Every structure is written in structure tokens, then in C-alpha cells.
């Protein structure tokens, strides 16, 4: 394969979920330097739920948005710094500020069927001259043909790159191939295609490779998989496989391995791994950041967190609806008492 | 006296305008005379004609040509359109009840700040947003007991009930709701989040309200729960489908309230409680306005 795959590192953004948004500026600085030095092209740094995400609903960040972004910008020599924005949570003013602080990549994220809420934000990012990405979350929830329609909307607003985002780590390799190949076939040839995976079904690397084989230009990855649920596609694992398959990229295998092992893993509060809960996320198709919320609610209300996630999946919750979890835990606890 | 009504018209023939029309047709204080749109083929305008209203398809110009049609004008278009129309309505001497996030006039949430004595002085009032109407009363209920440092609300609405206006201007929703949480709800700081959920069958509108109090809320749990219950009753007075979804949770200085809104099914089905809560609030506001106008003898 001729072209180089662009790696968008999400250790500092999706990884925020796994550490309850508590990275310190010192940790952000050290991680940024290591990721930048290993050759990643883009480093995304915000609250896990994007700009404006710091809240009671999702958890408050330890550091301010300004400090998170400025620290990443100050410590990235080669990589561009990116920010995530979910319309409904973040607003255009946040994006303008992030741009002032040095962010160069804007990823505007919507649920896979709601692309039309991203119009004003994508247009603003383009106007600011940012590398603008449309990010279709929970892509497993809609058939590939519908996902393409939504991608076309984001493309028409001006997005340069459109992502298939497997927020729940629920896509199989065929599911991934169908979505990416439709984008490749029917989107404008200048539009780049990206894939964001989660490892809940142990398919993070496999799906990323499938996406590359179908023509994806950008892949999201994080050190040691640091991210929501069972984590994202682990950078060092992806790099090892890409090297074996002669897929071209800008990363150094040993440097990613060392950063994952020496720097990232010691910072983890809870091992980012496939366990019964994160596996349930992938199996039932629930947004990965619900993991820690369901775990806590399960403990508090004395119910099996897997039952909470399963009920949440049946209700069709989308990203950002963490507030439904307590209600479901209360319901399950009441049902348990009635049946006792 | 009982048969006297004040004439009103609606600008905007989308989801909100049409739902408002259905509700106003039942009002004992207001006579809805016209629906004003910009597309003669729109479903809303057709429905207006079927109900014997004047259907105007050339926008506000149509109202300027026939100012006798209304004394109160409901605006159910977009913030941008209302910024333009507000001036014209003022020049015509019409009272405006604005259902867009334009916020030209002061925010109005009937259960909190609809004061009969003050209403005659206002010629333009703003109904905040559906999320604001559903959550501000609960924040106010807490701030009546203890000072509120921070209020945060999360509104989940069914994708089907969010029209193109809402979708293209989602920032205006969060920004307007957040400022009204402070101004009307009494919070020092605030944040508003909205999520659109495409689940089928569609979900009922659901709102989670997190309130951070200055003092220990747990120590005032009884008073806070009592205040929340009373406020719930007030809102139910004009939105019958408004209810607690889960038991209010009070921990330390955080009060979390979850409410859902089942709609009346007037235009969109019951799941679209987000339409009902703002149109019902607007109808109630218009009725209080009409009463005061009748008392002052505005209507001939």
C-alpha cells in the first residue's frame, strides 16, 4: 500500500473517560511529549465528552479546558493538536477559544443518525481554517447505507474527513468493511475516511486493519488502548501489525511500546481491559463511557452492572445519556425487591 | 365577559406553530385567527385553513397588511426571524410571545415568574426553550430553599420531535437555556446539555436536573422535597403530563431531579412532550395577558 496511514492519537481525550477526566497538566505534558516523539500525526486533547464536557453529568475535569489544550499544544513539536466537539454539549464559542489556544484539528461528533446538528460547527471549523472532521458515533446503530447518507450531510457542510466511529466497540470486521467501503465508493474522492475503534469485543486492531484495507486514511489509537470501555485500538499493537503487513505510517514501534509500558500503564486507575463489563458494552452495543457509571450505580443500588447495561441498550440510549443509568439502577433494584 | 376573547395569530407553521394552534383553538380567553407561514403548501397552513383560520403564506408582510387580525402574536419561527419580526410587531403595537431562543424580551416561565401585575407592562416575552420550561421550575424550587451555586440540566428529546430549526440552531438552545437557569432559576452558574435520541418507538422527553447548593442540601432534604412537590403541582396546572421520572436524590450539596413530559398528542404524538411544555406555557402566558387586556378594555 502506497499512502501513509495517519494516526490520530486519543490517549488524552478518550483516555480521559478511563481516568474520570482527572489527568493533571503534568501528566498531559509527559504523555504529549511521548506521543509526539513516537510519531503520531494528531494528538486529541479535551475532556472525554469534548469541549464543554466538564460537568456533573459526565464528571468534572481536573484541569481547565484552557490548560488541557494549551499544555498539549506547548508539548507537541510535530503533531497537530485536535479537539472534539459534540453539538448539544459544546458550542461554537468553545471551538473558537480552542482554536485561539492552538488547536488545529476539529472533530465534530454526532450520533450516527443526527448529522444535521453538526452543520453550524463544521462550517465554523472550516471558516477558522481547521482540519475539519465529521465523527459519526455509535455507527453500529444504523445500516451502512443510512450511515453513508449522514456522512454525505457532513461532507456537504464542508468536513474534510468523515469517520466511522465504533463508540460501543460493537462492530465486527464485516460491519466495519461495509461501512468504510461504502464511504470510499460514494463520498467525494477528496474526502478522507477515518475509523475509531473500541476493543470491547477484542476487535480494535482487527477492525482498524479492515478499515485500512477498505481505504481508510486515518485511524484512531491510544497508548495501551487508554480509553473508554475496554479501551481504544492500542497504538503499539496497531503499529506492530501494520509493520508486519507493510502498511506505511509515521510511528516508531519501540517508542510506542515504551510509552505504553513505562508512562501510560502506571497512570491507569482501573485496568483498561476486556472484562465482563466492558465485554457487555460491545456485546449489547452500549456507548463505552457508560462503563464506570454503570459499575458505580451497580454497587450503589446492589444490582448487576451487566443488567444495567443490557437495559440501557434495550432503551436505545445514545452517547451522552449517562443520566439514564441511575434511573435504570433504581428500577432494577425495585424489581429485585418485588421478586425477592 | 365570559364570551370576550382577545385575538391572536401565530407566525411559523412548523411543529411548534401547529401544536400551538391546536391548543389555542381550545382556549376560552384567546381566539386564534391566523397562521402565518412562508410556504403555501405547508401542512401547517393547510391544517389552519381546515380549522377556519386565515392562512397567510407571505410571512409577516401578510400580517402588516391585515393588522386587525391579532392583538397578541406568537412567534414560532427561528431566533433570526424573530429578531427581524420583533421590531415590526412593536411598531404595529402588538404583544409578542416568543417561542424561539431569540430572547428579545424577558424570559418567562409561568410557574416561576408569570406575575399578573407585571404582565401589562411587557410587550415582548420569551418562552426560553422546551428544556428551560421543563427544568427551570425545579431549579427555582431548590433555590427557594437554599442558595444555588450551580445548576446543570440534560434534556433528552426524541429525534422525531426536533425539527430543522432546532437542529440547525442547537447552540442557541444550550446558550439560552443556560442563561435562563441563572436569571429565572436563581442559579449563580449554569450549564445546559441536549441530546437527540432516535430510538423507535420514540422516547418521551426526559430531563435530568443537577443542582449544587451553597449549603448542605441533605440537612434540608424535607424542605427541598416539599418545595419540589409544590412546584411539580404548579407546572402540572398547565402541563398535565409533567411528572417525576425517578425519585429525587439528595446527596451532600447535590440535588438530582429527573422529570419526563408526556405530551397531549395534539399535533405530534405523546412522546413529543418537548412541544407541549413550551406551547402550553405560551398559551398560559397569552391567557394571562388576555385577561389583563380585557380588564383594561383594550378589546373593543
pLDDT recorded at residue B198 = 95
pLDDT the model gives residue B300 = 43
Specify the CATH class of B6-127+277-296 in words.
Answer: alpha beta
Domain shared by A251 and A326, yes or no:
no
Residue A180 has pLDDT above 50, yes or no: yes
According to the per-residue pLDDT averaged within each range, which of A95-109, B157-171, B263-277 is highest? A95-109
Cell digits of residue A47: 475532556
Q: Using the beta-carbon criterion (under 8 Å), do A320 and B200 form an inter-chain contact?
A: no
Say if strands B54-56 and B95-98 run parallel, antiparallel, or are unpaired. unpaired
CB-nearest to A88 from B174, B199, B254 is B174
Alpha-helical runs (H) found in chain B: 15-24, 43-50, 60-65, 79-92, 110-113, 130-143, 164-168, 170-183, 221-236, 273-296
**R_g over Cα of chain B:** 19
Cell numbers for B15 = 411543529
Q: Would you call B168 and A317 a contact, using CB atoms and an 8 Å cutoff?
A: no
Q: Are residues A205 and A245 in the same domain?
A: yes
Question: Is B51 buried (19+), middle (13-18) or exposed (0-12) by CB count in 10 A?
Answer: middle
> Where residue A203 sits, what CATH number does that domain have?
3.20.20.70
Predicted confidence at residue B298, as pLDDT, reads 53
Q: Rounded distance, CA B73 to CA B125, Å?
A: 11
Q: Per the domain annotation, does A226 fall within a domain?
A: yes
pLDDT of residue A340: 77
Q: Is the pLDDT of residue A1 over 90?
A: no
DSSP A185: H
Judgement on whether residues A323 and A258 belong to the same structural domain of the protein: no
pLDDT at B299 > cutoff 70: no
Structural domain of residue A243, as residue ranges? 6-267
Provide the angle, in degrees to the nearest 10, between the axes of the packed helices B221-236 and B130-143. 140
Q: Are residues A123 and A225 in the same domain?
A: yes
- What are A99-141's pLDDT values in tens digits? 999 999 999 999 999 999 999 999 999 999 999 999 999 999 9
Q: In this structure, is residue A228 part of a structural domain? A: yes
Of B119, B125, B204, B194, the closest CA to residue B161 belongs to B204
Query: What tens digit of pLDDT does each residue of B110-159 get?
Result: 999 998 888 888 999 999 999 999 999 999 999 999 999 999 999 999 99
- pLDDT the model gives residue A2: 65
Q: What is the mean pLDDT of residues B267-276?
A: 90
| pLDDT of the residue at B4 | 87
> Residue A4 carries which DSSP code?
P
Residue A191 DSSP symbol: S
Give dist(CA A257, CA A240) in Å, integer. Answer: 9
Helix (H) or strand (E) holding A121: helix A119-127
Is A23 found in the same domain as A126? Answer: yes
φ, ψ of residue B9 in degrees (nearest 5): -135, 160
Domains: count for chain A: 2
- Cβ distance A113 to B249 less than 8 Å, yes or no, reads no
| pLDDT tens profile B253-262 | 999 999 999 9
For the entire predicted model, the pTM comes to 0.94
pLDDT per residue over A4-61, tens digit each? 999 999 999 999 999 999 999 999 999 999 999 999 999 999 999 999 999 999 999 9
- Shared-domain flag, residues A211 and A150: yes
- Give Cα B68 distance to the centre of its chain: 26
Q: Distance (Å, rounded) from C-alpha A21 to C-alpha A9?
A: 17
Q: Say if the Cβ atoms of A88 and B203 lie within 8 Å.
A: no
Taking residue A284's Cβ as centre, other Cβ atoms within 10 Å add up to 17
- Per-residue buried b or exposed e for A8-29, using 16+ beta carbons within 10 Å of the residue's own CB: bbbbbbbbbbbbbbebebebbe
Percent of chain B whose predicted confidence (pLDDT) is above 70: 98
Q: Are residues A198 and A326 in the same domain?
A: no
Measured between CA atoms, how close is A35 to chain B, in angstroms?
A: 32
Round the average pLDDT of chain B to a whole number and report it: 93
Q: How confident is the model at residue B2 (pLDDT cuts 50, 70, 90)?
A: low
Point out the residues of B that are catalytic.
130
Contact A318 B198 (CB under 8 A): yes
Residues A71 and A115 in one domain: yes
The predicted structure's pLDDT at residue B295: 86
For residues B160 and A38, the model is more confident at: A38
Phi, psi of A48 (to 5 degrees): -55, -35
Q: Is B225 exposed, middle or buried (0-12, 13-18, 19+ CB in 10 A)?
A: middle
**A211 & A320 share domain:** no
Lowest mean pLDDT: which of A35-49, A159-173, B32-46?
B32-46
User: What percentage of chain B's residues is helix, strand, coil (to nearest 5)?
Assistant: 40, 25, 30
Classify residue A22: in a domain, yes or no.
yes
In angstroms, the first-to-last Cα distance of chain B is 12
Which residue is it, cell 432494577?
A332
In which element (H, E) is residue A127 found? helix A119-127
Query: Taking a C-beta distance cutoff of 8 angstroms, is the pair B149, B188 a contact?
Result: yes
Compute the average pLDDT of residues A272-279: 97
Interface test with B, best of A112, A324, A337 (most B CBs within 10 A): A324
For the domain that residue A315 is a member of, what is the CATH number? 1.10.8.60
- The answer on A97 and A47 residing in a single domain is yes
Please indicate, yes or no, whether residues A106 and A252 belong to a single structural domain of this protein: yes
- Alpha-carbon distance of B275 to B119, in angstroms, equals 24
- The correct CATH number of B130-271 out of 3.30.360.10, 3.50.50.60, 3.40.50.2300, 3.40.109.10 is 3.30.360.10
Cβ–Cβ < 8 Å for A112, A141 = yes
Question: Parallel, antiparallel, or unpaired for β B124-126 and B95-98?
Answer: parallel
The DSSP letter of residue A13 is T
- A181 and A305 in a common domain: no
The Cβ-side half-sphere exposure at B156, using a 13 Å CA radius, reads 26
Q: How close does chain A come to B169, measured CA to CA in Å?
A: 8
Residue B165: per-residue pLDDT: 79
Residue-level pLDDT at B196: 96
Cell of A336: 429485585
Q: In the sheet that B205-213 helps form, which strands lie side by side, from edge to edge?
A: B187-197, B148-158, B205-213, B254-261, B242-251
- Report how many Cβ contacts below 8 Å link chain A to chain B: 88
Tens of pLDDT, residue by residue over A136-161, are 999 999 999 999 999 999 999 999 99
Strand order in the sheet with B30-36: B54-56, B30-36, B6-11, B72-75, B95-98, B124-126
Amino acid at each position: 500500500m502506497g499512502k501513509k496511514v495517519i494516526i490520530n492519537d486519543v490517549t488524552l481525550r478518550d483516555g480521559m473517560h478511563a481516568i474520570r477526566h482527572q489527568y493533571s497538566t503534568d501528566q498531559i505534558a509527559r504523555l504529549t511529549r511521548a506521543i509526539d516523539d513516537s510519531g503520531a500525526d494528531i494528538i486529541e486533547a479535551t475532556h472525554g465528552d469534548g469541549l464543554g464536557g466538564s460537568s456533573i453529568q459526565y464528571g468534572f475535569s481536573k484541569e481547565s479546558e484552557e490548560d488541557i489544550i494549551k499544555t498539549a499544544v506547548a508539548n507537541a513539536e510535530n503533531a497537530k493538536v485536535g479537539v472534539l466537539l459534540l453539538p448539544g454539549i459544546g458550542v461554537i464559542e468553545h471551538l473558537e477559544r480552542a482554536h485561539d489556544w492552538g488547536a488545529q484539528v476539529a472533530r465534530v461528533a454526532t450520533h450516527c443518525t443526527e448529522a444535521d446538528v453538526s452543520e453550524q460547527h463544521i462550517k465554523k471549523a472550516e471558516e477558522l481554517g481547521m482540519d475539519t472532521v465529521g465523527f459519526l458515533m455509535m455507527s453500529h446503530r444504523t445500516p451502512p447505507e443510512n450511515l453513508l447518507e449522514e456522512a454525505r450531510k457532513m461532507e456537504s457542510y464542508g468536513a474534510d474527513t468523515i469517520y466511522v466511529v465504533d463508540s460501543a466497540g460493537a462492530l465486527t470486521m464485516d460491519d466495519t468493511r461495509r461501512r468504510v467501503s461504502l464511504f470510499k465508493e460514494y463520498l467525494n474522492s477528496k474526502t478522507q475516511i477515518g475509523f475509531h475503534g473500541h476493543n470491547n469485543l477484542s476487535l480494535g486492531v482487527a477492525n482498524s486493519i479492515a478499515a485500512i484495507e477498505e481505504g481508510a486514511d486515518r485511524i484512531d489509537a491510544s497508548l495501551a488502548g487508554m480509553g473508554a470501555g475496554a479501551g481504544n485500538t492500542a497504538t503499539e499493537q496497531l503499529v506492530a501489525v501494520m509493520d508486519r503487513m507493510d502498511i506505511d505510517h509515521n510511528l516508531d514501534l519501540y517508542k510506542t511500546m515504551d510509552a505504553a509500558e513505562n508512562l501510560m500503564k502506571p497512570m491507569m486507575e482501573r485496568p483498561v481491559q476486556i472484562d465482563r463489563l466492558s465485554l457487555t458494552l460491545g456485546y449489547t452495543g452500549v456507548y463505552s463511557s457508560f462503563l464506570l457509571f454503570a459499575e458505580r450505580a451497580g454497587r450503589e443500588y446492589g444490582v448487576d452492572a451487566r443488567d444495567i447495561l443490557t437495559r440501557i441498550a434495550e432503551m436505545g440510549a445514545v452517547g451522552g445519556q449517562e443520566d439514564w443509568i441511575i434511573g435504570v439502577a433504581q428500577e432494577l433494584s425495585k424489581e429485585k425487591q418485588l421478586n425477592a | 365577559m365570559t364570551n370576550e376573547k382577545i385575538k391572536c395569530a401565530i407566525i411559523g407553521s412548523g411543529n411548534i406553530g401547529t401544536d400551538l394552534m391546536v391548543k389555542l383553538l381550545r382556549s376560552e380567553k384567546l381566539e386564534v385567527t391566523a397562521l402565518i407561514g412562508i410556504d403555501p403548501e405547508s401542512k401547517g397552513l393547510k391544517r389552519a385553513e381546515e380549522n377556519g383560520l386565515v392562512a397567510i403564506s407571505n410571512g409577516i408582510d401578510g400580517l402588516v397588511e391585515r393588522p386587525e387580525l391579532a392583538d397578541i402574536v406568537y412567534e414560532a419561527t427561528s431566533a433570526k426571524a424573530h429578531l427581524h419580526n420583533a421590531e415590526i410587531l412593536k411598531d404595529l403595537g402588538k404583544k409578542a410571545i416568543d417561542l424561539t431562543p431569540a430572547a428579545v424580551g424577558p424570559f418567562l416561565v409561568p410557574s416561576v415568574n408569570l406575575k399578573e401585575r407585571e404582565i401589562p407592562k411587557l410587550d415582548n416575552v420569551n418562552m426560553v426553550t422546551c428544556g428551560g420550561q421543563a427544568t427551570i421550575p425545579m431549579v427555582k424550587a431548590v433555590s427557594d430553599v437554599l442558595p444555588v451555586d450551580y445548576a446543570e440540566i440534560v434534556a433528552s428529546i426524541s429525534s422525531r420531535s426536533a425539527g430543522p430549526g432546532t437542529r440547525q440552531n442547537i447552540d442557541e438552545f444550550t446558550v439560552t437555556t443556560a442563561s435562563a437557569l441563572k436569571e429565572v432559576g436563581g442559579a449563580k452558574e449554569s450549564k445546559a446539555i441536549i441530546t437527540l435520541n432516535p430510538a423507535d418507538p420514540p422516547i418521551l422527553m426526559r430531563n435530568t436536573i443537577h443542582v449544587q447548593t451553597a449549603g448542605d442540601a441533605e440537612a434540608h432534604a424535607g424542605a427541598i422535597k416539599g418545595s419540589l412537590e409544590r412546584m411539580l403541582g404548579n407546572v402540572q396546572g398547565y402541563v398535565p403530563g409533567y411528572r417525576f421520572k425517578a425519585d429525587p436524590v439528595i446527596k451532600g450539596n447535590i440535588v438530582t431531579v429527573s422529570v419526563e413530559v408526556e405530551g397531549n398528542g395534539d399535533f405530534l404524538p405523546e412522546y413529543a412532550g418537548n412541544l407541549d411544555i413550551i406551547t402550553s406555557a405560551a398559551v398560559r402566558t397569552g391567557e394571562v395577558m388576555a385577561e389583563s387586556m380585557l380588564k383594561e378594555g383594550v378589546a373593543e
